[in-house]
Amino acid sequence: YIRVRLQRPGGEERRDIVRGTKAAEFHNHIFEKVNPEMEKLGFECKCLGGGKIEHNSKDKKIRVFGLSTGYGKADHSVTVEILKKVYTDYEITWSDDKK
């Protein structure tokens, strides 16, 4: 996954989003997909780092860990707070473990 900061050009309001997909081999592939979509909506994008997410929908558990070689490690505690807004009935944990 990557965490991306969205901001309108010249604006002060910022919003962070979390994006990821199994289809992306590397973190920059996720950014290359998200960035043009957000630019069409009038946002500037900045990648704040990344990591990995294990999503177990059967047990309703999400684990956030690892880092991005290209973008560095995102602040997983912030990522978890973003995920909790969507996955309200999940157990969501994070660690600095690499695996």
User: How many angstroms separate the CA atoms of 81 and 49, rounded?
Assistant: 16
CA angle at 1 for the pair 75 and 5, rounded to the nearest 5° = 60
Q: Provide the strand spans (E) within the chain.
A: 2-7, 14-19, 44-50, 52-56, 61-65, 91-94
For residues 35 and 20, is the Cβ–Cβ distance under 8 A? no
Question: Which one of the listed residues 27, 29, 55, 76 is annotated catalytic?
Answer: 27
For residues 17 and 4, is the Cβ–Cβ distance under 8 A? yes
Q: Any catalytic annotation for residue 27?
A: yes
Q: Among all residues, which ones are annotated catalytic?
A: 27
